[in-house]
Structure 1
Amino acid sequence: MRESGAGARMRKVMIPSAVAGAIALAGCVTVNAPEEPIVIELNINIRQEVIYRLAEDAGNTIEENQDIF
């Protein structure tokens, strides 16, 4: 049984409108910046490299100046 008249036309308009509205509302994404600044803490251990460089420099100095030791 088919509907005819204003009721059928109204249904043909309302169903797609409801679907389009649901799709539009589902796609809303809000991105807000934080109130406080972002802090990145980098705890890097560079001690080994510094000691290695100092040891290498000390070894070179000793080899170049053997008479002062």
Structure 2
Amino acid sequence: MKRISLLMPAAALLLSGCTPRIEIAAPKEPITINMNVKIEHEIHIKVDKDVEALLKNQSDLF
């Protein structure tokens, strides 16, 4: 019994030294974000035949 009563405080002391430590630090270099993005798109327009004929006949509309 005496042994157990002596080992308990010693075990508590040893286990208290094993607590995890969390550290948050800012980076020494600035964070860079590369925003070079190439965007390509195509626009397809479907036109009625009447409107298409009008655009062919009167090309000065636009």
Given the two structures, how large is their TM-score scaled by the length of structure 2? Answer: 0.50
Q: CA deviation at 1:19?
A: 1.4
Match of 1:38 among 16, 26, 31: 31
Q: Any stretches of 5+ residues in structure 2 without a counterpart?
A: 46-54
Q: Percent identity?
A: 20
State the superposition RMSD in angstroms. Answer: 2.8
Runs of 4+ in 1 over 4 A off after TM superposition: none
**Larger fraction in helix:** 1
The one-letter code sitting in structure 2 at the alignment partner of 1:10 is L
The one-letter code sitting in structure 1 at the alignment partner of 2:37 is I
What secondary structure sits across from 2:17 in the alignment?
helix
Q: Any stretches of 5+ residues in structure 1 without a counterpart?
A: 57-62
Q: CA deviation at 1:17?
A: 2.0
Count of paired positions:
49
